Structure 1
């Protein structure tokens, strides 16, 4: 039996599933989910107003350490609003990574800005600070731009020397829950006066130097999609330590409605992005189990790592100075041919696995975006396979 058939057997034994299909990542409902959802239904507050929405936001603050959390309908809407609050405008550019889920680029596009795709590090699979600094030195210049109503009040802002567009934000994404090198990215960003918005969609329960992901940038965005560590079917959250940004975030995600007992007045262009109470009820019950879920997933990752060491497979481990939630476990294969053979074998045998995402600049709507050579991103695209990662 070759090592990949042994891997199949190992996974089936771990999940006590000798024959049936094993999904990549399915939710676990083992706590108060049914009770809280039933309570929300009984309250009749099933839309965007209700006790569980407020409770969810407080729980997110408690878990992440952020001062403020704003519940949204999904992670993409959370990132969209976070970028808008960071000051991203139509015609700007936003630096991010091509090795990411499509939502990262889509959220940038929703603001009217265009993504700039820079390479990743192999050990984090996230935005490389070395690449970031080299690209900024080569392609960006700081210009004094009028700020506010006073002609004498100016601020230094970064512009792409080639396109002439303002660089309005940097969006690192914590791939599969593994934190990027945040210290270096933020230090570089500060030198160029560029705000950092963390795409923490996959990293609830992950820490960089004992600080929760999503809290080091000026804003962070999380996802609670059906395949995430904690889910409420859909759902997202914005976190920040800035009171003003938090207040505006809550306002514009609730259609920018001015509070009034019965009149409908709106003072900004807002969005119907508020998480419904019904989803929040499910999310609150899931968040109660987050700590146990992460412990379970890390234990499973440790077992997979040991198996891989014994069978000459390259398991993707958490980077140094981090604690990953190991949302999706991954192995790195020798080349694209081997990757494709493993994908075909495991899926044929009923053990779901998938490749990493197709690089975003290869999508037709982003093919004309500015990018670098993507050496590491392409190397990873050719080799990474995700394997079952559900809580056991």
Structure 2
């Protein structure tokens, strides 16, 4: 209990307040108001406008990819990316159960089924070893792809999520998936600014999806992005998210089912102003993470840090408690003292809509589920 009380005092000192301290709040200290007013004055407030184009170009530069597509949110980005990568109704997608529900929901939106595999303890993201073991037991490699021996369904994608901005072991995962003809789609919703072996997350998969929700490191209220190095797929993504409308001066012709998933210019204006400050956000978060690491080390609590050869954006920082009893006490004490903390997500196969999905033993995921707690991580 002493360590928890000291934690509460330390966090209040960091944020210099005795008032309620949220988990993660946006910081608007740049050109947000200026760009929003410019957008209003231009009258281009919907999905056509200069800031949409600028946002897409900025995302290409930040992620080092050839094409970015602005969309309404991260879930939509994953859903459309799954379609682009070839996921069809009745297919299966390998992913992790330790994730936010949007990852699994996006798969279900494509009328596909998630297969939940374990995570690594160090990254908290999809484990290459777990994927390899699953495919050795259930994989059936055919000319047209990989199939699940147990269900007979095609495994048409692998969807790892970079948990809290900590990159998964991408090289190993992609090598395994390539050997089984399974394309990789990165759920990079939480990892804007993170790097794996010097390269940005989101630049490794066939496609990748980002989120700009209100609690993300960069926000525009809502918003998402698809990025890819396959220019043809990127153009297809832009087309599908723009209601699959064939360009024409005045006619409305739609030649396949598309989505009205376009990011409004108003949101894009906000996003551009936020992206201009990304480097400062990352610097401030790394400074806070360093202070947390030193404090928790002296109090016998494990603070989660980045793995070798990676740079995490430290979007949501977290501690690992000894067991579920300690975790629950930590959660209760901090929240009752106006310091917002929260547990990691409930594993997806515990949710009623995914309870029947195939999964492995989930040893690491269940260990983490009982111990990980997010602590205040706002840019200061």
Q: Does 1:340 align with 2:328?
A: yes
Partners in 2 of 1:215 and 1:24 — Cα distance?
28
Residue 9 (structure 1) aligns with: 9
1:185-264 superposed matches below 5 A: 185-264=173-252
Residue 173 (structure 1) aligns with: 161
Q: After TM superposition, give the deviation of residue 243 of structure 1 in Å.
A: 1.1
Residue 330 (structure 1) aligns with: 318
1:353-372 superposed matches below 5 A: 353-372=341-360
- Structure 2, unmatched stretches of 5+, are none
Partners in 2 of 1:261 and 1:111 — Cα distance?
32
Residue 151 (structure 1) aligns with: none
For the residue of structure 2 that corresponds to 1:306, the secondary structure is helix
Partners in 2 of 1:308 and 1:62 — Cα distance?
36
Partners in 2 of 1:143 and 1:200 — Cα distance?
30
Q: Deviations over 1:127-171 (max 9, x none)?
A: 0111110110011111234xxxxxxxxxxx110000000000000
Partners in 2 of 1:308 and 1:318 — Cα distance?
15
Partners in 1 of 2:206 and 2:159 — Cα distance?
11
Q: Deviations over 1:207-239 (max 9, x none)?
A: 000110011010000000000000000000000
Q: Deviations over 1:217-268 (max 9, x none)?
A: 1000000000000000000000000011011000000001111121111011
Residue 69 (structure 1) aligns with: 68
- TM-score under structure 2 normalisation? 0.99
Partners in 2 of 1:144 and 1:339 — Cα distance?
48
1:1-392 superposed matches below 5 A: 2-17=2-17, 19-145=18-144, 157-392=145-380
Residue 149 (structure 1) aligns with: none
For the residue of structure 2 that corresponds to 1:237, the secondary structure is strand
For the residue of structure 1 that corresponds to 2:143, the secondary structure is strand
Partners in 2 of 1:141 and 1:263 — Cα distance?
47
- TM-score under structure 1 normalisation? 0.96
Q: After TM superposition, give the deviation of residue 311 of structure 1 in Å.
A: 0.6
Q: Deviations over 1:319-339 (max 9, x none)?
A: 111000000000000111111
Aligned length in residues: 380
Partners in 2 of 1:199 and 1:143 — Cα distance?
27
Q: After TM superposition, give the deviation of residue 352 of structure 1 in Å.
A: 0.2
Partners in 2 of 1:364 and 1:319 — Cα distance?
34
For the residue of structure 1 that corresponds to 2:175, the secondary structure is helix
Partners in 2 of 1:303 and 1:66 — Cα distance?
33
Residue 150 (structure 1) aligns with: none
Partners in 2 of 1:35 and 1:243 — Cα distance?
32
Partners in 1 of 2:254 and 2:36 — Cα distance?
31
Partners in 2 of 1:289 and 1:8 — Cα distance?
29
Q: Deviations over 1:296-339 (max 9, x none)?
A: 00110011000011110100111111000000000000111111
For the residue of structure 2 that corresponds to 1:198, the secondary structure is strand
For the residue of structure 1 that corresponds to 2:95, the secondary structure is strand
Would you identify which runs of 4 or more consecutive aligned residues in structure 1 move more than 2 Å? none
Q: Deviations over 1:49-88 (max 9, x none)?
A: 0000000000001111111100000000000001100000
Q: Deviations over 1:330-355 (max 9, x none)?
A: 00001111111110100000000000
Q: After TM superposition, give the deviation of residue 375 of structure 1 in Å.
A: 0.5
Pairwise CA RMSD: 0.7
Partners in 1 of 2:229 and 2:177 — Cα distance?
18
Partners in 2 of 1:299 and 1:198 — Cα distance?
27
